[in-house]
């Protein structure tokens, strides 16, 4: 659903209503395909409430007219009646701007991962025109499945490890074939075993080659743009931590034009715009003194001097001013905890609004100087809401979401609803989403699974959104929203 954020925050009712209708139609189709009628939870106010109420009415009407419509779930799907959490994009704007450090989020941000596919330019033999190589990344790729949420340096190290294992296996096969002292019967058996192994080994080599090339291309971007430094600073900002000495020096250098330095590339300017917006987004909740007014002024001047489009900043200022007015009118109690305060305020406002050599090169030489970072466990607005709603134990976080059961008559508040926890949930973001947000939910589910008392406590969560967007695409879309 292109331009979903603009359309769902449109300036005319007709644009918003058409966008809501499209979202509801898509969600209704998904629910019919799954064969489930979920319980709906959503923040009051805004597009999420419009989507939930229209979807609830449509489900209720269809249940009355076609009682068997939702009774044809795939056999053995194990998908009992779930919770459907409909979220507002404004609940967490920062996740759409932050730099990532996990494999699939990097592929999305830097290589434009779309429909499980990335394309990169590879140097052709003889130094001719680069050739574009396309790689499919999906559930049939064991390395992708195992590493999509892993830190970049883990991916680089494990590509190297898998390549060594492959070479050792091939060398063992070659040595086995060279043992002429074996009897004819033994040799025939050995050859048969080798022939059976070759297809699997060839497929493993193909997967290794693909991920080595992808990781090398990612590393080229990371080194050229210093993305590890951006990620390190932004994680500290979001978690409310003080910056180390090196990060402080790096932040100061990023906010100022360096004498004699080469002109910043469009990508480097975009990185600084994202950092600038995140600093502004978090300055109200900054407890560690990361956000300095002088640094913000220097960074804004740097962006303006380089003719960077700052319409997204203008929109963010207007949006924050609106939130401030709403918050002042309703006097919300801001919780402590760094960035969590800003996002919780937003939620309240929603009530109103050579392969071996190459592998070593990747692992050792190029990786030298890149910070050894681990993706932080993101306690995002979405993960907090999903956890509270699936626990279903009451409390401020859960009670801030309205309840709607399409199986009940219209207007029934569900006062007799069960307080047992949910094991199945669908999370839908009204607007754009990305892999960083998806991974935060994925990790939360994994942590819960590890601590579950039994199989009956295991959770299954689907994540969806109106469109998957990179930070650059999101900022370009925000820049289109007219200012009041």
The model's confidence at residue 60, banded by pLDDT at 50, 70 and 90, is very high
The dihedral formed by the CA atoms of 433, 435, 439 and 442, expressed in degrees to the nearest 10: 70
DSSP state letters, 207-255:
HHHHHHHHHHHHHHHHHHHTHHHHHHHHHHHHHTPPPPHHHHHHHHHHT
Whole-number pLDDT of residue 76 = 45
Write out the two tokens for 61: 């009407």
Q: How many CB atoms lie within 10 A of CB 169?
A: 15
Say if strands 117-122 and 460-468 run parallel, antiparallel, or are unpaired: unpaired
Contact indicator for 406, 61 with CB cutoff of 8 Å: no
Whole-number pLDDT of residue 450 = 74
Contact indicator for 341, 285 with CB cutoff of 8 Å: yes
- Is 144's pLDDT higher than 50? yes
Sheet holding 401-404, edge to edge: 401-404, 39-43, 83-88, 424-433, 460-468
Radius of gyration over every alpha carbon of the chain, rounded to an integer in angstroms: 26
- Using alpha carbons, select from 330, 314, 286, 368 the residue that is nearest to residue 480: 314
Write out the two tokens for 248: 């402080």
Q: What is the share, in percent, of the chain residues with pLDDT greater than 90?
A: 52
What are the residue ranges of helices labelled H in 309-452?
311-330, 339-349, 355-360, 381-391, 396-399, 435-451
Whole-number pLDDT of residue 193 = 64
The angle subtended at Cα 239 by Cα 302 and Cα 392, nearest 5°, is 130
DSSP 409: P
Domains of the chain (ranges, CATH numbers): 4-92+380-478 (3.40.50.1910), 103-225 (3.90.830.10), 227-340 (no CATH)
Which of 190-194, 196-200, 305-309 shows the lowest per-residue confidence on average (mean pLDDT)?
190-194
Q: Angle at which helices 13-34 and 46-65 pack, to 10 degrees?
A: 50
The model's confidence at residue 413, banded by pLDDT at 50, 70 and 90, is confident
Kind and range of the H or E run holding 25? helix 13-34
Question: Computed from CA positions of residues 446, 448, 450, 453, in that sequence, does the dihedral angle turn out positive or negative?
Answer: negative
- Is 159's pLDDT higher than 50? yes
DSSP state letters, 160-182:
HHHHHHHHHHHHHHHHHHT-TTS
Q: How many CB atoms lie within 10 A of CB 240?
A: 18
Q: What is the pLDDT of residues 202-261, one digit of tens each?
A: 888 899 999 999 999 999 999 999 999 999 999 888 888 888 898 999 999 999 888 878
* Matching residue, tokens 């993305």: 227
Reported residue count of the chain is 484
Mean pLDDT of the chain: 82
Report how far apart, in Å, the C-alpha atoms of 102 and of each of 96, 148, 151, 243, 344 are: 15, 7, 5, 21, 25
Residues whose CB is less than 8 angstroms from the CB of residue 106 and which lie 6 or more positions away in sequence, other chains included: 100, 152, 218, 222
Residues whose CB is less than 8 angstroms from the CB of residue 429 and which lie 6 or more positions away in sequence, other chains included: 87, 89, 382, 437, 463, 464, 465, 466
- Is 332's pLDDT higher than 90? no
Query: How many alpha carbons fall within 13 Å on the CB side of residue 145?
Result: 5
Question: Computed from CA positions of residues 407, 413, 418, 422, in that sequence, does the dihedral angle turn out positive or negative?
Answer: positive
The dihedral formed by the CA atoms of 284, 266, 244 and 241, expressed in degrees to the nearest 10: 30
Q: Which has more pLDDT, 396 or 188?
A: 396
- Is 126's pLDDT higher than 80? no
DSSP 114: B
Write out the two tokens for 56: 């609830």
Residues whose CB is less than 8 angstroms from the CB of residue 64 and which lie 6 or more positions away in sequence, other chains included: none
Residues whose CB is less than 8 angstroms from the CB of residue 67 and which lie 6 or more positions away in sequence, other chains included: none
Write out the two tokens for 337: 């905890």
- Using alpha carbons, select from 379, 408, 466 the residue that is nearest to residue 47: 466
For 335-349, what is the mean pLDDT? Answer: 33
For 450-467, what is the mean pLDDT? Answer: 79
Q: What is the pTM of this model?
A: 0.83
Write out the two tokens for 295: 């640094």
């Amino acid at each position: 659903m292109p331009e979903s954020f603009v359309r769902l925050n449109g300036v005319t009712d007709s644009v918003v209503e058409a966008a809501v209708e499209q979202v509801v139609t898509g969600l209704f189709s998904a629910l019919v395909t799954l064969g489930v009628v979920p319980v709906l939870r959503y923040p009051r106010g805004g597009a999420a409430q419009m989507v939930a109420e229209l979807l609830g009415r449509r489900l209720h009407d269809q249940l009355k007219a076609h009682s068997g419509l939702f009774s044809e779930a795939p056999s053995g799907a194990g998908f009992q009646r779930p919770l459907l959490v409909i979220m507002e994009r404004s609940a967490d704007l920062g996740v759409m701007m932050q730099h990532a450090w996990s494999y699939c989020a990097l592929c999305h941000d830097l290589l434009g991962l779309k429909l499980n596919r990335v394309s990169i330019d590879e140097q052709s033999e003889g130094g001719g025109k680069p050739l574009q190589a396309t790689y499919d990344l999906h559930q049939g790729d064991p390395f992708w499945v195992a590493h999509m949420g892993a830190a970049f340096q883990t991916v680089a190290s494990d590509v190297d490890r898998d390549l060594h294992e492959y070479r050792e296996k091939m060398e063992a096969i070659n040595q086995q074939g060279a043992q002429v002292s074996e009897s004819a019967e033994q040799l025939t058996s050995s050859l048969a075993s080798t022939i059976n192994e070759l297809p699997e080994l060839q497929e493993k080599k193909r997967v290794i080659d693909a991920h080595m090339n992808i990781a090398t291309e990612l590393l080229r971007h990371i080194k050229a743009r210093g993305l590890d430094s951006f990620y390190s600073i932004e994680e500290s900002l979001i978690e409310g931590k003080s910056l180390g000495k090196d990060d402080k020096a790096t932040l100061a250098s990023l906010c100022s034009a360096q004498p004699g330095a080469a002109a910043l590339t469009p990508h480097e300017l975009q990185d600084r715009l994202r950092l600038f917006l995140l600093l502004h987004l978090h300055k109200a909740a900054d407890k560690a003194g990361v956000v300095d007014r002088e640094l913000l002024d220097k960074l804004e001047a740097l962006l303006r001097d380089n003719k960077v489009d700052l319409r997204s900043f203008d929109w963010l200022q207007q949006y924050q001013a609106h939130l401030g007015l709403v918050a002042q009118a309703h006097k919300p109690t801001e919780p402590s905890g760094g960035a969590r305060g800003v996002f919780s305020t937003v939620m309240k406002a929603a009530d109103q609004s050579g392969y071996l050599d190459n592998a070593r090169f990747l692992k050792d030489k190029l990786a030298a100087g890149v910070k050894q970072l681990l993706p932080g466990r993101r306690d995002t607005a979405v993960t907090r809401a999903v956890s509270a709603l699936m626990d279903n134990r009451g409390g401020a976080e859960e009670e801030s979401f309205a309840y709607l059961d399409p199986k009940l008559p219209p207007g029934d508040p569900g006062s007799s609803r069960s307080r047992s926890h949910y094991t199945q949930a669908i999370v839908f973001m009204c607007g754009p989403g990305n892999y960083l947000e998806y991974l935060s939910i994925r990790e939360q589910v994994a942590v819960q699974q590890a601590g579950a008392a039994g199989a009956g406590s295991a959770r299954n969560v689907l994540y969806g959104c109106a469109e998957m967007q990179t930070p650059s695409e999101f900022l370009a879309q925000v820049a289109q929203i007219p200012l009041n």
